Amino acid sequence: MRFPLNGFFIFAFGALGGMLFGFDTGIISGASPLIETDFSLNATQTGFITSSVLIGSCVGALSIGSLSDRYGRKRLLIVSAVLFLVGSLFSAVATGFSSMVAARIVLGLAVGAASALTPAYLAELAPKERRGSLSTLFQLMITFGILLAYAVNLGFLGHDIGGIRDWRWMLGSAMFPAALLLVGGILLPESPRYLAAKGDRRNAFKVLTLIRGDMDEVTVAGELDEIYDVVSHNSAGGLRQLLRTARPALIASVGIMLFQQLVGINSVIYFLPQVFIKGFGFPAKSATWVSVGIGVVNFLATVVATLIMDRFPRKRLLVAGSVVMTITLGIMATTNLLGIGAASMTMVLIALYIVGFAVSWGPIAWVLIGELFPLNVRGVGTSVGSAANWIANFVVTQFFLVLLEGFHNNVGGPFAIFAVFSFLSIPFVIHVVPETRGKSLEQIEREMSGRRSE
């Protein structure tokens, strides 16, 4: 086995699935009003075009886990890249509501698959001292994908190039990153931990040597021995094994994923223009610019997260993020409900809220689901954790607009609910989430199984 990529490219390509995740969930905010007019859709149908991706994602996340434990992370990354390509093409050429929903569900399958595969793949490849930062690349790619989608929306809006409608260009442009992921998938090495679990010690050693370019052979062999030690005590497990032997990891992961969505992040990421149009009477174009601004803040704060991730305990970062989000949401809820919330102040507070999320819950939720599960159920475990994220995402996005209407377009109402969840996430982190920074995956596995037998 020869690999044409060096360590840096392996991690960058490995995280590419995140970019498509961000792009495909972000692009629809600009495209959906245009599709609505073209296909003469009602509000429920338009909403469904946005959320159908989330349904597909949940199914994709759930089905990929046991497959990736059986066939390997690499092969399934290739499968998800193909699904991304097909879904992007079909959504660009959709002729009506049903074909669009079908294409968005295919895209969702790919997004869900990538969201369960990528965190496990990155965590399994990274050395323990830098695992937090390298796994955060996934979130960095997500935020870059979202930003790119906002920029593509602005770029194509109103330009029917070659007589083809602008929204078709917006949706079709996702084929480029999808093709890149396909190339990446073909070139990337298989995860050394997966190879070890399959008994392929020779190739596991080769991959480890390649990605630990700066380490000597003895250290690499030591790491491989540690992996083998864990492998030899475990038999490959499925859902039942997950429930029986990895319950603490499961509870922590599912809880983290639910809270990551219940703090309301996607009410901002998906619906910010609507908040400013409906809540503050902004014209559509200015509201889209506000989104781009927030996309930039989100991306830059995630760059900071990548730099600091391995310097601070993950739990401390999570609690700090929750405090920032509780305070900013609390102020926005109170001022808007009292009718004294100005648009400019809301904008600043939303930016602070985004920073709070982007340096904590955004990356760490995905970092942790790659770290917490024991090797023999890591695929299934990340699947279930990731599916929990998509279900909560679906619920929040479905209810946000309804809630907004219920509160007569006053964002104070939904923000108050998100503030409560941000606050509740603090005791959850303190009491349920284990600290993983600086530990090898095998060490985490031993500690988690100790928790089980306590």
Closest CB 24 distance from ligand BGC, rounded Å: 11
Closest CB 361 distance from ligand BGC, rounded Å: 7
x/- track of binding to ligand BGC for residues 147-186 (CB under 6 A): ----------------------------------------
CA distances from 350 to 47, 343, 344 (A): 23, 10, 10
Give the SS3 label for residue 432.
helix
Polymer length in residues for the chain: 454
x/- track of binding to ligand BGC for residues 282-311 (CB under 6 A): ----------------x-------------
Backbone angles phi, psi at 207, to 5 degrees: -65, -45
Closest CB to ligand BGC among 94 and 265? 265
Q: Which of residues 352-371 bind ligand BGC (CB under 6 A)?
A: 362, 366
Residue 222, CB-side half-sphere exposure with 13 Å CA sphere: 8
x/- track of binding to ligand BGC for residues 112-151 (CB under 6 A): ---------------------------x--xx--x-----
Closest CB to ligand BGC among 103 and 146? 146
Closest CB to ligand BGC among 68 and 389? 389
Helix axes 43-71, 97-125, angle to 10 degrees: 40
Contact 124, 193 (CB under 8 A): yes
Q: Tell me if 425 contacts ligand BGC by CB under 6 A.
A: no
Closest CB 348 distance from ligand BGC, rounded Å: 19
Closest CB to ligand BGC among 81 and 258? 258
DSSP sequence for 347-378: HHHHHHHHHHHHTTHHHHHHHHHHHSS-GGGH
Q: Tell me if 389 contacts ligand BGC by CB under 6 A.
A: yes
Closest CB to ligand BGC among 109 and 227? 109
Q: Which of residues 208-227 bind ligand BGC (CB under 6 A)?
A: none
Q: Which stretch binds ligand BGC (CB under 6 A): 74-82, 188-196, 204-212, 264-272?
A: 264-272
Q: Which stretch binds ligand BGC (CB under 6 A): 225-233, 260-268, 304-312, 380-388?
A: 260-268
Closest CB to ligand BGC among 142 and 272? 142
Size of the site for ligand BGC (CB under 6 A): 14
**Rounded to the nearest 5 degrees, what angle is found at the Cα of 30, between the Cα atoms of 26 and 32?**
100
Token pair listed for 61: 């996340």
Q: Which stretch binds ligand BGC (CB under 6 A): 119-127, 228-236, 259-267, 404-412?
A: 259-267
Other C-beta atoms within 10 Å of 175: how many? 17
Cα–chain-centroid distance for residue 233?
A: 31
Handedness of CA 238, 232, 436, 205 (dihedral sign): negative
Give the SS3 label for residue 67.
helix
Cα–chain-centroid distance for residue 452?
A: 28
Q: Tell me if 382 contacts ligand BGC by CB under 6 A.
A: no
Closest CB to ligand BGC among 266 and 376? 266
| 427-435 LR contacts (CB < 8 Å, sep 24+) | 428/255, 428/259, 429/315, 429/318, 429/319, 429/322, 430/315, 430/319, 432/251, 432/252, 432/255, 433/252, 433/255, 433/256, 433/314, 433/315, 433/318, 433/368, 434/248, 434/252, 434/372, 435/313, 435/314, 435/315
Closest CB 111 distance from ligand BGC, rounded Å: 10
Q: Which of 269, 351, 367, 404 binds ligand BGC (CB under 6 A)?
A: 269
x/- track of binding to ligand BGC for residues 8-37 (CB under 6 A): -----------------x------------
Which letter does DSSP use for residue 276 in this model? I
Summarize as ranges the residues that interact with ligand BGC (CB under 6 A).
25, 139, 142-143, 146, 260, 265-266, 269, 298, 362, 366, 389, 393
